[in-house]
Amino acid sequence: METMARILLATFMALLLVVGPCQARPGQLQTTAAKSSATKGKAAVDGITAIYNFGDSLSDTGNLLREGATGMLQHTTGPPYGSAIGGATGRCSDGYLMIDFLAKDLGLPLLNPHLDEGADFSHGVNFAVAGATALDAAALARRGVAVPHTNSSLGVQLQQFKDFMTATAGSPQEIREKLARSLVMVGEIGGNDYNYAFSANKPAAGGARNLYDFGRMATGVVEAMALVPDVVRSVTGAARELLDMGATRVVIPGNFPLGCVPSYMAAVNETDPAAYDANGCLAALNLFAQMHNVLLQQGIRELRRSYPSATVAYADYFYAYVRMLRDAGKTGFDEAAVTKACCGAGDGAYNFDMDRMCGAPGASVCERPDERISWDGVHLTQRANSVMNDLLYHKGLASPAPVQFPRTT
């Protein structure tokens, strides 16, 4: 009973934090298109000339910043976020994200956020917004779930994409021709839908762990699980619309292994070895993530049957993260700190304190961020994002391969 209570508590506390908003002060923004101008003129890799990206903070390159972030995590508006790339840019990391490394590998400029007025969008657009949900705010409200950070759900992002393509590409046939030369990334998105469901059933203030609070947490778990089919339908439905418009290469990522994320592990602080799997992660939370991933892969198989001439790839974020943990020593990470945040506070093994998150007074940054997987207990370091990108798009964990990169000797 005690172990289950801790698991439920972790699910409530930590899911509130995953994919939270990270934004930069306007004065600290960098023009990524200008910095990437050297990539222009290169031959297209596997015929790809543009990337269109949808998602949340795992791939937001500055949209939430321009929307104007409110609520929790306000201390993430500046340094040390972006410290590896000269300053905060709206990315939730010390540096670049997976989407940045993928664009670089394709010889394309880094994706500018859609809300960056006057930016160069000739090689693609990033519609992702930190804090975004797969279901729209109205659908979640009908379930008693409030969306605190942004109304830019996946449906909103998809409509922005349609409006953009109509304005820039022209006719449906011209849009199809452009999409035939593009890579479309649908997520990762959906984690915040679950976060907010847990938030709606949070325990009473004061942290008392009585039967009433336990019951509320249990309700949160049940409601989050009930959301999974609808979240998956939203993601696969968006992918279906994009395929109908002419997309020929679509990537749909799954969820991370939540039980391996430092914020979750710190919230539980479980001492019972039976609560952990062979990788040292909380087994119950990983099962929840896998529930989402299994249903998502079923939906992807249906898309493949409906669109046999298109490539619909599943990006296995879950296993890529686990591989990164297992091979930490081989890839230059500190094996003793694979579940310890680089930037944060706290006396425990995870360097994570909900009240003193990265950037807040009392938090500090580790000396060698490149040796850490977790940046702030929630998001990855630039180095980990690079490793994930390599595992997914060069080592086969996005399957079938959405891009055929030239072989290197």
Supply the pLDDT for residue 285.
85
Over 50: is that where the pLDDT of 5 sits? no
The predicted structure's pLDDT at residue 354: 79
Which of 22-26, 140-144, 322-326 tops mean pLDDT?
A: 322-326
pLDDT in tens, 251-265: 999 999 989 999 878
Instruction: Provide Rg for the chain, Cα atoms.
Output: 20
Give residue 25's pLDDT band: very low, low, confident or very high (50, 70, 90): very low
57 in catalytic set: yes
Least confident of 48-52, 68-72, 357-361: 68-72
CA distance 352 to 16: 14
pLDDT of residue 144: 81
CB 184 within 8 Å of CB 126? no
Residue 234, classified by CB atoms within 10 Å of its CB into exposed (0-12), middle (13-18) or buried (19+), is buried
Q: Is the dihedral of CA 135, 312, 128, 368 positive or negative?
A: positive
pLDDT above 70 (res 292): yes
Q: What is the pLDDT of residues 108-147, one digit of tens each?
A: 999 999 999 999 999 999 999 988 999 999 998 888 888 8
Look at residue 13 and give its three-state secondary structure: helix
Q: What angle is formed at CA 186 by the lines to CA 128 and CA 293, rounded to 5 degrees?
A: 115
Coil, strand or helix at 184: strand
pLDDT beyond 80 at 21: no
Selecting among 36, 57, 263, 386, the annotated active-site residue is 57
Selected catalytic residue, list 114, 234, 379, 386: 379
**Residue 18 or 408, more confident:** 408
The hierarchical CATH code for the domain 2-329+382-394 is 3.40.50.1110
Mean pLDDT, the chain, rounded, equals 85
pLDDT > 70 fraction of the chain, expressed in percent and rounded:
80
Q: Which whole number is the average pLDDT over 87-111?
A: 96
Say whether 374 is catalytic: no
Cis before 273? omega within 30: no
Are residues 15 and 285 in contact, defined by beta-carbon separation less than 8 angstroms? no
Which one is catalytic: 213, 316, 353, 376? 376
Given a contact cutoff of 8 angstroms between Cβ atoms, the answer to whether 357 and 344 are in contact is yes
The answer, yes or no, to whether the previous bond of 335 is cis (omega within 30 of 0) is no
Q: Could you tell me the two tokens for 204?
A: 């009473």
By the 8 A CB rule, do 190 and 292 touch? Answer: yes
Of 403, 330, 184, 39, which is closest to residue 395 (Cα–Cα)?
A: 403
Instruction: Give the DSSP H or E segment for 34.
Output: helix 32-35
Q: At 135, list the tokens.
A: 């279901």
Q: What is the mean pLDDT of residues 147-156?
A: 88
**Do 50 and 182 form a contact (C-beta atoms < 8 A)?**
yes
Going by DSSP bridges, is the β-strand pair 343-344/364-365 parallel, antiparallel, or unpaired?
antiparallel
The residues facing 183 across adjacent strands are 51
Contact 13, 354 (CB under 8 A): yes
Give every strand in the sheet of 182-186, ordered side by side: 124-126, 50-54, 182-186, 249-253, 311-315, 398-399
Query: What pLDDT does 41 receive?
Result: 45
Strands 124-126, 50-54: pairing is parallel
170 — pLDDT class (breaks 50, 70, 90) = confident
Is the separation of the CB atoms in 131 and 144 below 8 Å? no
The position carrying tokens 């015929």 is 47
Active site residue 394: no
CA distance 381 to 334: 13
Read off the amino acid at residue 270: E
Structure tokens belonging to residue 152: 């830019």
368's CB contacts (< 8 A; 6+ apart) are 334
Note whether 221 and 11 are within 8 A (CB). yes
User: Interior CA angle at 105 toward 184 and 314, to 5°?
Assistant: 40
Nearest to 282 by CA among 295, 267, 294, 297: 267
Model confidence at 215: pLDDT above 60: no
Amino acid residing at 153: S
356, β-bridge pairs: none
In this predicted structure, what is the pLDDT of residue 219? Answer: 55
pLDDT at 226 over 90: no
Average pLDDT over residues 389-409: 92
Structure tokens at 289: 């993530």
- Residue 217 backbone phi and psi in degrees, to 5: -65, -40
Judge contact between 309 and 248, C-beta under 8 A: yes
Grade residue 187 by pLDDT with cuts at 50, 70 and 90.
very high
